[in-house]
Amino acid sequence: MSFEGLIIIMVSAAIVNNLVLIQFLGICPFLGVSKDMKSATGMGLAVLFVMFFATLVTWPIQMFLLEPNGLGYLQTIVFVLIIAALVQFIEIVLKRYIPALHVSLGVYLPLMTTNCALFAVTLMNVQKGYSLIESVVNSVGAGLGFLLAMTLFSAIRKHIENSDPPECFKGAPLTLIAAAILSISFFGFSGVIENLFG
């Protein structure tokens, strides 16, 4: 795979097919942890971090363990198991060797065990038939996209909090409307890849 191909995968995963805003995956952290910029960025970085390692682990398991034995259809349940164990393992390693990172990312790691965005990326890597390098690039791109969506939305929510909307829009309704508008704006990127590189 050429360098250009990797760039296309990265941009496509991060912006054009943004996990949260286009594919509507990982909506719960997107709405739940986006109240302030600091926790939103923390959550985004934690997803990026775990996504990278999850791809490194699940791709070989799919290619060398499940497929040769005709167990490809078990990928869903096996990936859930592997990712849950991996997150625990990462937490133990961070606690032992990089305590500073554990303090800043530690609270978000348990949320990662059943994160659907993370899970979807590992499954998509297999479905699209990516090689290991392509998979990793795709995951990092998707993680960056998640981080971007979280940071953007937390900044928007800060402005929403300072506004004075009609009573019926206060709280959740306005948050959901804002999320929808942000999502629509990202639909504007569709077709960018075909026209730029195609």
Applying CB under 8 A, the residues found at the interface with other proteins are: 69, 71, 74, 77-78, 81-82, 84-85, 88-89, 92-93, 95-97, 162-164
Q: What is the DSSP letter of 163?
A: S
**How far, CA to CA in Å, does 118 sit from each of 13, 140, 190?**
13, 11, 22
Q: Of the two residues 2 and 162, which places its CB atom closer to other proteins in the complex?
A: 162
In the complex, the smallest distance separating the C-beta of residue 97 from other proteins, rounded to whole angstroms, is 8
Closest CA to 16 of 154, 140, 189: 189
Q: Of the two residues 92 and 180, which places its CB atom closer to other proteins in the complex?
A: 92
Q: Of the two residues 128 and 158, which places its CB atom closer to other proteins in the complex?
A: 158
Diameter over CA atoms, the chain: 60
In the complex, the smallest distance separating the C-beta of residue 21 from other proteins, rounded to whole angstroms, is 28
Tokens describing residue 14 = 């991060």
| 3-class state of residue 72 by DSSP | helix
Q: Of the two residues 95 and 128, which places its CB atom closer to other proteins in the complex?
A: 95
In the complex, the smallest distance separating the C-beta of residue 197 from other proteins, rounded to whole angstroms, is 39
102 Cβ contact list (under 8 Å, min separation 6): 91, 94, 95
Q: Of the two residues 89 and 197, which places its CB atom closer to other proteins in the complex?
A: 89
Q: How far out from the chain centre does Cα 13 lie?
A: 10
Q: Of the two residues 166 and 198, which places its CB atom closer to other proteins in the complex?
A: 166
Tokens describing residue 17 = 């097919």
In whole angstroms, what is the distance from residue 152 CA to residue 34 CA? 9
In the complex, the smallest distance separating the C-beta of residue 106 from other proteins, rounded to whole angstroms, is 11
How many helices (H) and strands (E) would you count in the chain?
10, 0
In the complex, the smallest distance separating the C-beta of residue 98 from other proteins, rounded to whole angstroms, is 11
In the complex, the smallest distance separating the C-beta of residue 28 from other proteins, rounded to whole angstroms, is 24
